[in-house]
Amino acid sequence: MASCVIVFFSRQIQKPMTKLTAAPPTTSRQLSLCLVHSTMAIPLSTIRCRLLSRSRIVHRFCLNFARVIFALTLVFSSLLCKAALEAPPLPAAEDVIVKLLDRAKSISSDTNRTRYVYLKTLETEELDDSGRVKSKKEQLYEVKLIGGMPHPRLIRVNGRSLGKEEISKENDSQENTRRSITSQKRPGRREMVISEDLLSRFQYSVEGRELLLGRDTLIVSFKPKATRLPEKRIADRVINKLCGRVWIDEQDFELARIDLRLTEEVTLWGGVLGSLKELSMVMDRDRLPTGVWFNKKGVFTIQGRKLFSSLRMRARETASKIRAENAHE
């Protein structure tokens, strides 16, 4: 490009100027032509100097820009290294689990703790073998948090209010399900969901930290211990095959997120009653300014067999309108 410009200007310089100098311009058109030819009569050395100066300016700009980028890279790298050095070391997994259990015990035994109420919407889809939706069901629950434990009460199904008999039947079903997971053999006592018996079945490893809800959390992976685990109930067979990761709030030592799945297929009565091939759950929890944690949203998938029919289900739950029990909406 530069060579073409130089050739163009050199040819203009070599053109004879006798016609312009022979007679002075008399019209405006002749005057403009004279001005054009006079501006073209620039020495070749001047053109080269201008081109070289412009290339030097561009080269200098690129060089300075590269220096700035390099300096910023060094600054950010040093800041990251400083942050990594200043971050506290990851705690031992055993210490984290002990604090998690202590927190659960503290909440369970706090009888003066303010109770909260919220609405939970549960959408359940039954799928066919190809994964298409066969049927849908939407249930609305009123949930009370008592001692950190959710106590649901069904109030609507598919947008329809229930009669007394339907409410009683559904609530009994929910209560039986909850007791099968949380009941303890000792009369008058109720085992917590996060219990010493439950936590002792797994191996733990602290993998790192992550910011959730603007708060530091510890990422802890877990898997079943290699030793023989107790199986007193059908639920134990499922629990003993769970693995995944949990995000534990580093200040409150509450579960902020749960991501779990089955390690292998679980059979019921040797596969006669059925089997559970897939079970997964992802649950995100939220924290109120008062320090109360609750299940915010979750996704569940189940795939297996019940007697001679296949079973595939997908469920989603979301919480809304949480408030203190004595407060009005």
More confident residue, 58 or 266: 266
Pinpoint the alpha helices (H) of 24-92: 28-40, 44-86
Per-residue pLDDT tens over the stretch 240-294: 999 999 999 999 999 999 999 999 999 877 667 788 999 999 999 999 999 999 9
More confident residue, 237 or 14: 237
E-only strand ranges, the chain: 116-127, 133-146, 149-157, 160-161, 202-212, 215-224, 242-249, 255-262, 266-268, 274-287, 293-306, 309-324
**What is the separation of C-alpha 118 from the centre of its chain, rounded to a whole number of angstroms?**
23
Per-residue pLDDT tens over the stretch 146-200: 877 888 888 899 999 888 787 777 767 766 655 654 554 433 333 447 888 999 9
DSSP code, position 1: -
What confidence category does residue 313 fall into, taking pLDDT thresholds of 50, 70 and 90? very high
Record the pTM. Answer: 0.69
Mapping DSSP to helix (H, G, I), strand (E, B) and coil, where does residue 43 land?
coil
Backbone φ and ψ of 25, nearest 5°: -65, 140
